[in-house]
Amino acid sequence: MGNREALLAAAKRCLYQNGYPRTTARDIAAEAGVSLAAIGYHFKSTEALLNAALIDAVQDWGDEIARAVAEPPEEGQNALERFEATWTRLVDVVIRHRRTWVASFEFLAQVDHVPQVREQLAAGMEQARYGLARMLHDLDPVRDGAEAWAVGSFYQALVTGVMAQWLVDDERAPSGRELAQALESIMSTVVADVETSAQG
């Protein structure tokens, strides 16, 4: 592993251990076993290195999310059971990647100061939006357009909200089963309202 790769890996570990605003150049250099000058040589600045490390970490997390979502359903599962199984796996990803999520939230507080990284994260968010729509509802961004965008945005909001709840209060954050129960209740209310409107 060269110095550049060692610095990037070390910066990711420091992000998990210390968080975005508390990681220093000395922390990263010491973790990587290289000189402070190596940061400037390979990345120009500590901020640039941290931003690259965060994007890399979020990509790692995104890949794991994609694997969790793409896992084929068990034979005979209905839609609600598939929803529960999928969100149980996603909650597990959040738990196992807690430090990545914390670092991501810390970065969001700084995002207005680093527009180039904001643009990269926005592009990644758009990909994730359509990816969730495709994997969870077989919606294609070209074929299904606005519907794919809307459904993907809904799932993205749910992921972010569930993540926040698990970070703040993991004892009372919702499980996959509880999310499925909530969806069933919401669906029942919507169906009842539609039926009542149709009768009226």
The 3-state DSSP class for residue 44 equals: coil
Percentage helix, strand, coil for the chain under 3-state DSSP, each rounded to 5:
80, 0, 20
Rounded Cα–Cα distance for residues 108 and 48 (Å): 15
Take residue 29 and report the two structure tokens written for it: 């250099």
List the domains of the chain with CATH numbers. Answer: 55-199 (1.10.357)
Rounded Cα–Cα distance for residues 65 and 140 (Å): 19
Rounded Cα–Cα distance for residues 199 and 94 (Å): 44
Rounded Cα–Cα distance for residues 31 and 20 (Å): 15
Angle between helices 146-168 and 98-108 (to 10 degrees): 110
Q: Kindly report, residue by residue over 10-40, the tens digit of the pLDDT.
A: 999 998 888 877 889 999 999 999 999 999 9
The 3-state DSSP class for residue 71 equals: coil
Angle between helices 46-70 and 3-18 (to 10 degrees): 80
Rounded Cα–Cα distance for residues 150 and 127 (Å): 13
The per-residue pLDDT for 200 is 66
Take residue 41 and report the two structure tokens written for it: 């040589």
148 vs 17, higher pLDDT? 148
How far does CA 134 lie from the centroid of its chain? 16
Report the half-sphere exposure of 39 (CA within 13 A, side-chain side). Answer: 24
Nearby residues of 131 by Cβ (< 8 Å), 6 or more positions away? 66, 69, 152
Helix H or strand E segment including 3: helix 3-18
Angle CA 126–43–36, to nearest 5: 140
The per-residue pLDDT for 58 is 75
Q: Kindly report, residue by residue over 43-72, the tens digit of the pLDDT.
A: 999 989 988 888 887 777 778 777 877 777
Q: Kindly report, residue by residue over 92-127, the tens digit of the pLDDT.
A: 888 888 877 787 777 777 677 777 677 777 887 888
